[in-house]
Structure 1
Amino acid sequence: MLKRLHDFLAGLPMTIVAGVFLLLDLVPHLIEEFGGNPVQLAFLPFDPAWVTIAISGIPLLYLAIWRILHNPGISKISSALLICIAMFASIAIGDLFAAGEVVFIMAIGALLEEATTNRAKKGLKKLIRLAPTRGRRLNDGREEMIPAEEIEQGDILRILPGETIPVDGKIISGETSVDQSIMTGESLPIDKGVGEEVFCGTINRFGSIDILATKVGENSSLQKLIHMVQDAESKQAPMQRIADRVASWLVPVALLIAILSFVFTGNIVTAVTVLVVFCPCALVLATPTAIMAAIGQAAKHGVIIKSGEALEKMGKVDTIAFDKTGTLTYGRLDVSDSISFDEAVSETELLSLAASAESKSEHPLGKAIVSYAKMKEVPLVEPVAFSMTAGKGILAEVKNRKLLCGNEKFLAENGVSIDTSAQSALERLRTQGKAAILVADTQKCIGVIALSDVLRPEAKDMVSRLTDMHTRTVLLTGDNKKTANYFAEQVGISEVRADLLPEEKVQTIEKLQRENHTVCMTGDGVNDAPALITADMSVAMGSIGSDIAVDAADVALMSDDISKIPYLKRLSNATVKTIKVSILLSMGINFVAIALSLMEVLTPTTGALVHNAGSCFVVLIAALLYDRKFE
């Protein structure tokens, strides 16, 4: 009940009501303070400041008591406690405006901070929905559909094309291509055959396979991924108010100065004035107002920052880890090379033959070749005959010519050998991280079509600017070592970790953190979610990235423009600097006000106004961040 009352009074509508009543109380007090006749609001039977004190003071009192009862050690002493003391002291001497002002400013600060730190956590629910619910079990030669939770280790399961694999297992029959992007982020489906492992949640793209269940239920790869997200979420702590960090010394110092002023002056009003001007309202406002201005500035540039804590941490980041597919690259396949080994066949003719042969193929590589040929307006013809061997290649007749398109094993099985020049070209393409489709007739290999993910043009400049800012860059990817090294070299990243599963990305980030690095992870896929949450700070590609990655990250790049990452770091640095300047300014104003209070120049009411002016200065300084240029 107390918590519900706290939430109701601390909400925006009631805080607005508190502000209106405080304003009603301000004018009469100003007239009286500067020599006018006392003014009483005839339509109110009580001082309107009482309403402000009740609305904004009760939540503050609840917070101060809760921290005393539940916080450990010195953290029991908080800024809320100091302001409650000032509130009761002001009430005791009859200065209700001063009491209402200090608690109202704190209420505004709490609302601003809540606005900057609220974030929806829907990603975990979406990740759980990816878990398969049913599987096809083979029992004495018969197929039966059963709930995924009933699948046991050692069961034989049949996975048809297009189906999601319900458990981790090993292929015992059949060949196929598996889309493992959910687990590894790899841009290409992986061809798999007998004896190779498949993972829960991945998709069987082509070919029927039978698998032996090896890891089921909570032990499967997808369930482990879900648990990693849950564990990482539970480790996230809310942003701690800067005022509370110094409250352990601020409260005792304020009380000591107030007591000493009463002892030496004998004036209780002076002591209360000291408490009022010592309240850290401007200190509390320094962080959320600067962060709100920075978040607004970033939003104009298509950068969505979800929390103030993330913005603060980005300024401390010294290491940025990147996923490859969909982050440094576009995450789509394009033909990168068309190499002919036959002088009678031009590169355009080779592409035409290969695309015509692949025009009936369902394999992603074949579809990419056909799509590229159409984009380049290369003429295609309908194949007369077509057959496919899952995981190996296709056989088709084009222009009265029998063609084979596939891997080395497929060509060898059909009696076509690979000569030295072709082997050399294949090795070079693989070193560059490209997928290769060999094209052959019934006698010899006539060429090779290579496909590659497409590097974002801004990636190299982005890495260069981060390097100039003394920020370390690391590539973390599920792709193979050769592919990872090739793309890392293209953008200028020297540290590469390849062949990583989601948990291995998490382990790599944790290792960097143990080495006292503050790590930012940048990614786009479901498989990146645990790493995004584990990192001190995280950035997701908001436009093409998975919903889970976007929800898990602290920052989303809505235009998928990774050149915004250096901008984000500069904005963060400027925000942290602005917060520090605001804190120094607010503390300076407070100390001047304390001196004037001890000289009996200020009363609780005028002291509250001076201390309110400090809060206004802090807000104005923060507002300058909104229109500042960082490009």
Structure 2
Amino acid sequence: MLRAVRRLFGKHATILLILMAMAIAAALESSDNQTAAKWLLTIVAVGASVRPLWGMIDAIRHGGYGVNALAIIAIIAAVVQNEYWVAACLALLLVATVSLENYAKQRAAWALNKLTQNTPTKAHLLRGAHQKDVKPADIQPGDKLVVLAGEQVPVDGEILDGSSTLDESILTGNTDPAPRRAGEIVYAGTTNTENKTTVSALRTAADSHYRQNIRSIRAASKSYSPFARLAAKFSIPFSIVALVVAVVAWVVSGDSTRFLMVVSVASPSALLLGAPIAMSAGLSRAVQQGIIPKTAAALEQLAYTRAIAFGGNGTLTDKPLTIRDVQTFGKHTRQNVLQYAAALEAHANHTIASAIVEAAQEPDQSPRKAKQVKETIGQGIAGRLDGKTVLVGSAHFLDTHGISMPESFRPSSLRHTAALVAINDELAGVITLDSHIDPQCAPTLQRLHQLKTGETILLSSAPQANAEAIAQKLAVDQTLAECQTRDKIMAIEKSALHPLVFAGDSASDTPVLTASDIGIALGALSCQTPADSANVLVMEHSFAKLAEAVAIAKQTLRIAFTAVLFGTITSLLLIGVFATGQFHPLQAVALNAIITLLVVLYALRARKSRS
């Protein structure tokens, strides 16, 4: 009980002191001690204004806005006019507004608070046959750890022994159980729900995806969107208008009380609180879904999307690519072509490389290792193996290296995703692959059209026939096939539709994500995803989250705009009404408080889905 009282006084000490002073003043007035009540309320009002006044001055000195100017002017006017109850109520409103703003931002940023509060605090470190409890911060890459059932994974790691099911919802927003077995990756912050497992640490706790998420969300919550900044700027002309109306009402009527009433009812809270609180609430809702905008500006820009582009191979598939066929030339065999290609592709991070490496793997044999490997992102990879020069990539990539095609093969005849393999300047084989379109794609693209996001654009490295078949199946608006990385960048730069979103999921998408207005990295938990180049991270590889991100952005901006518009128009109308002098200043203060509360409560609606 005592702790709760201390916490209450610690957070709201000034509010409680003002309320106590008002209670004492009321008692003094009831005993006909008007002078003492007046001085008590005046001292309290002036004292409560000192800190906000210095804060306002400091903000102006650093290029900010004098957000408390009207409230402080109103308090001074009330004191001068001997309206000491009005002065005390204005001081209470001033301090309560700050507390309400802090409370609203904490409520809006609940997702960050949840992540912070659920940070892993202990780990079981294995040293030989002995187990020692340590802090996650003490763990180094390569350390062996035991994760018991019901415990959080302390750092990102690879399962060495055992299999289990994990709850990854704190990272991905997906509440479905995630089965994990030996050789698979587990992530810090997730919960082991079934069996004891042994894990080898891959990163330190500070470098885990969990801690990176906390840093990204914290930075985003502290940032301001362009709309929030614009609304804050308009608080200055709003305050000037209120002051002009107040002075005119005073001069015309000769009644200084009208000045007090106008500045008391004028509330710039809608301009100052509505937008940032709504954006913060929208960020929290996105994080709950495993979608992490790195800045508030990125979330706002998503709402204005006029075109969405995406790659083909990994972005639209729900299963790994599989080898469809291996066409060989000369004396080369199927396994020979696969092994040479896999020796190079083992150095790459994309879906085609993974499929080739897996297909070439033979039981009880270590994969062969190529030397002098050099990858050209989005085109191909070159290296040496067994003293031979090996190239793996597109027909264009081989052509740039002077590889001529045999008469029996035409690259234009390809109907599926393919990787060409050249050994010692001759085409050795063509590996074609099958992709499995994610069933989420069609309804996701339909939802994007319903959200009025403009055109959908498929930028595929696949052959023309394959890309067109995918585009027709998914009803994509525009298709560009056989795209190299530079072709994708040129298509984005030449597009007349901006802001343009590009969703990618592999290292080859890095320069494309950078070139787009908004880059979205799908599957950000994967090491293949170029998270550093993206503006928005989708933690799991889910194409459906693309539409969810846009929906959240649009709803958040709509709520922010409505909150600002409602509060501003209502305040302007009340300024005109109270300029007539037909009301009491205390009524002006009460309506000011009601407007502020309504704006904050409405802005917090961005935390919840419209449905």
Superposition pairs of residues 559-570 of structure 1, within 5 angstroms = 559-570=540-551
Runs of 5+ unmatched residues, structure 1:
1-13, 72-76, 120-235, 342-349, 396-404, 411-416, 440-444
The question of whether the paired residues in 1 share the 8 Å contact of 2:71 and 2:94 is answered with yes
Amino acid at match of 2:51: I
What is the Cα deviation at residue 259 of structure 1?
0.8
> Is 1:322 aligned to residue 310 of structure 2?
yes
Distance 1:372 1:113, change over 3 A: same
Corresponding position of 1:5: none
The question of whether the paired residues in 2 share the 8 Å contact of 1:488 and 1:496 is answered with no
> Is 1:22 aligned to residue 15 of structure 2?
yes
The question of whether the paired residues in 1 share the 8 Å contact of 2:418 and 2:430 is answered with no
Corresponding position of 2:485: 500
Q: Deviations 1:142-184 (Å, cap 9, x if unpaired)?
A: xxxxxxxxxxxxxxxxxxxxxxxxxxxxxxxxxxxxxxxxxxx
Distance, in Å, in 1 between the alignment partners of 2:550 and 2:571 is 32
The residue matched to 1:320 in structure 2 has which SS? Answer: strand
Corresponding position of 1:371: 358
The residue matched to 1:567 in structure 2 has which SS? Answer: helix
Q: Deviations 1:6-49 (Å, cap 9, x if unpaired)?
A: xxxxxxxx9996843034313654786899738989xx999455
Distance, in Å, in 2 between the alignment partners of 1:57 and 1:537 is 40
- Structure 1 stretch 103-112 or stretch 255-264: which is displaced more? 103-112
What is the Cα deviation at residue 254 of structure 1?
0.6
Distance, in Å, in 2 between the alignment partners of 1:373 and 1:547 is 20
Aligned partner of 2:568 among 570, 579, 587: 587
Distance 1:20 1:322, change over 3 A: farther
The question of whether the paired residues in 2 share the 8 Å contact of 1:15 and 1:107 is answered with no
What is the Cα deviation at residue 98 of structure 1?
0.9
Corresponding position of 2:300: 312
Distance 1:517 1:427, change over 3 A: closer
Corresponding position of 1:130: none
Distance 1:105 1:453, change over 3 A: same
The question of whether the paired residues in 2 share the 8 Å contact of 1:102 and 1:608 is answered with no
The question of whether the paired residues in 1 share the 8 Å contact of 2:513 and 2:520 is answered with yes
Corresponding position of 1:101: 93
Superposition pairs of residues 295-310 of structure 1, within 5 angstroms = 295-310=283-298
Distance, in Å, in 2 between the alignment partners of 1:624 and 1:524 is 32
Distance 1:358 1:525, change over 3 A: closer
Q: Deviations 1:281-325 (Å, cap 9, x if unpaired)?
A: 133221122223322322232222343333332221111232446
What is the Cα deviation at residue 483 of structure 1?
9.3
Superposition pairs of residues 235-384 of structure 1, within 5 angstroms = 239=226, 240-247=228-235, 249-324=237-312, 326-329=314-317, 333-337=321-325, 354=335, 358=339, 362-364=343-345, 368-369=355-356, 371-372=358-359
Corresponding position of 1:37: 30
Superposition pairs of residues 394-409 of structure 1, within 5 angstroms = none
Distance 1:594 1:334, change over 3 A: same
Aligned partner of 2:499 among 518, 527, 530: 518
Distance 1:509 1:356, change over 3 A: closer
Calculate the aligned-residue CA RMSD, in Å: 5.5
Distance 1:619 1:244, change over 3 A: closer
Corresponding position of 2:597: 616
The question of whether the paired residues in 2 share the 8 Å contact of 1:320 and 1:520 is answered with yes
- Structure 1 stretch 259-268 or stretch 78-87: which is displaced more? 78-87
The residue matched to 1:579 in structure 2 has which SS? Answer: helix
The question of whether the paired residues in 1 share the 8 Å contact of 2:321 and 2:435 is answered with yes
Q: Deviations 1:226-245 (Å, cap 9, x if unpaired)?
A: xxxxxxxxxx9863434334
What is the Cα deviation at residue 618 of structure 1?
1.9
The residue matched to 1:362 in structure 2 has which SS? Answer: helix
Corresponding position of 2:418: 434
Question: Number of matched residues?
Answer: 451
Distance, in Å, in 2 between the alignment partners of 1:555 and 1:545 is 15
Distance, in Å, in 2 between the alignment partners of 1:294 and 1:96 is 35
What is the Cα deviation at residue 539 of structure 1?
2.1
What is the Cα deviation at residue 533 of structure 1?
5.5
Corresponding position of 2:125: none
Superposition pairs of residues 410-425 of structure 1, within 5 angstroms = 423=409
Distance, in Å, in 1 between the alignment partners of 2:69 and 2:511 is 38
Corresponding position of 1:465: 447
What is the Cα deviation at residue 81 of structure 1?
4.9
Amino acid at match of 2:594: A
What is the Cα deviation at residue 62 of structure 1?
2.4
Q: Deviations 1:45-87 (Å, cap 9, x if unpaired)?
A: 99455554233332223223554xxx9xxxxx87555455445
Distance 1:509 1:63, change over 3 A: farther
What is the Cα deviation at residue 275 of structure 1?
1.0
Q: Deviations 1:607-629 (Å, cap 9, x if unpaired)?
A: 33321221211222233343335
Runs of 5+ unmatched residues, structure 2:
1-6, 113-222, 347-352, 374-381, 399-404
The question of whether the paired residues in 1 share the 8 Å contact of 2:291 and 2:537 is answered with yes
Distance 1:363 1:459, change over 3 A: same
Superposition pairs of residues 165-204 of structure 1, within 5 angstroms = none
Amino acid at match of 2:568: M
The question of whether the paired residues in 1 share the 8 Å contact of 2:49 and 2:72 is answered with no
The residue matched to 2:285 in structure 1 has which SS? Answer: helix
Amino acid at match of 1:463: L
Distance, in Å, in 1 between the alignment partners of 2:451 and 2:552 is 13
What is the Cα deviation at residue 487 of structure 1?
8.0
The question of whether the paired residues in 1 share the 8 Å contact of 2:250 and 2:256 is answered with yes
TM-score, scaled relative to structure 1: 0.56
Distance, in Å, in 2 between the alignment partners of 1:386 and 1:619 is 61
Corresponding position of 1:190: none
The residue matched to 2:443 in structure 1 has which SS? Answer: helix
What is the Cα deviation at residue 563 of structure 1?
0.8
Distance 1:523 1:247, change over 3 A: same
Distance, in Å, in 2 between the alignment partners of 1:394 and 1:32 is 91
- Structure 1 stretch 554-563 or stretch 82-91: which is displaced more? 82-91
Amino acid at match of 2:285: Q
Distance, in Å, in 2 between the alignment partners of 1:277 and 1:386 is 75
Distance, in Å, in 2 between the alignment partners of 1:304 and 1:386 is 37
The question of whether the paired residues in 2 share the 8 Å contact of 1:304 and 1:557 is answered with yes
Superposition pairs of residues 225-244 of structure 1, within 5 angstroms = 239=226, 240-244=228-232
- Structure 1 stretch 83-92 or stretch 619-628: which is displaced more? 83-92
The question of whether the paired residues in 1 share the 8 Å contact of 2:412 and 2:463 is answered with no
Greater Rg by CA: 1
Q: Percent identity?
A: 20
Amino acid at match of 1:500: T
TM-score, scaled relative to structure 2: 0.57
Distance, in Å, in 1 between the alignment partners of 2:384 and 2:491 is 37
Distance 1:312 1:78, change over 3 A: farther
Amino acid at match of 2:484: D
The residue matched to 1:628 in structure 2 has which SS? Answer: coil
Distance, in Å, in 1 between the alignment partners of 2:76 and 2:419 is 74
